[in-house]
Amino acid sequence: MNLSNLIRIINEEIQQWYDDEPSIADKYYQNKGIITSPPKPQYQQNQKQKLSGELVGYVTKAWTTPLKQPVAIYKNPDNLIGFPNTARGVLVSDGNVYIGETEEALHYNILELLAKEGVIPYDSVVPNYGQTLPEEYITVVRMMGANRFTQSPDAYEEFPEYYIQMFELANTMHPYKFVEI
């Protein structure tokens, strides 16, 4: 493991120590008119600037329930800084990966977006998600904050040869790895 990968992993781990919930002292000072932390919108804006990759579009639902805020989907991020520990994504057969900005981006809804954008055929998404093993894509999940992804554990009882080939191709294209569990 080289030094830059080690620093990237440490940085991702440190990010998990901080949350944006105010402490009791922050609330007390806020009631007294003293601001101890930056406003929340500025924090969210800074957080979004950390994400890399090409913005593909937004997921606006969790299954069929509308989300309070749309969730951005990024193609081929250079690193995983700023993405959640258990980020969901879709790896397509050409090695490109599409990752949700937050954990609210569900696989099904990412697939709907990719079908709408013409990345995958719509027939491979609806109504067969979770019922077949499509050759066009595999849904993936980040492994607890690591620089690794694995197949979605709830969607795949089998792992055919063409999924192994997708993982091998993706491992040559991205700095993070795809491993079978």
Considering the domain architecture, whether residues 67 and 138 belong to the same structural domain is answered as yes
Considering the domain architecture, whether residues 70 and 127 belong to the same structural domain is answered as yes
Considering the domain architecture, whether residues 90 and 129 belong to the same structural domain is answered as yes
Higher pLDDT, 104 or 10: 104
pLDDT tens, 129-166? 778 888 899 999 999 889 999 999 878 888 999 999 99
Considering the domain architecture, whether residues 110 and 38 belong to the same structural domain is answered as no
Considering the domain architecture, whether residues 57 and 24 belong to the same structural domain is answered as no
pLDDT tens, 9-68? 666 666 555 555 666 666 665 665 555 444 444 334 444 446 889 999 999 999 889 999
Cis before 127 (ω within 30): yes
Considering the domain architecture, whether residues 91 and 147 belong to the same structural domain is answered as yes
DSSP for 102-157, please give it: STT--HHHHHHHHHHTTSS-GGGTTTTTTTS--SSEEEEEE-TTSSEEEE-TTT-S
Total count of domains within the chain: 2
Considering the domain architecture, whether residues 9 and 83 belong to the same structural domain is answered as no
| Structural tokens at position 108 | 């099904």
Determine the structural domain holding residue 18 and report its residue range.
1-49
Considering the domain architecture, whether residues 39 and 70 belong to the same structural domain is answered as no
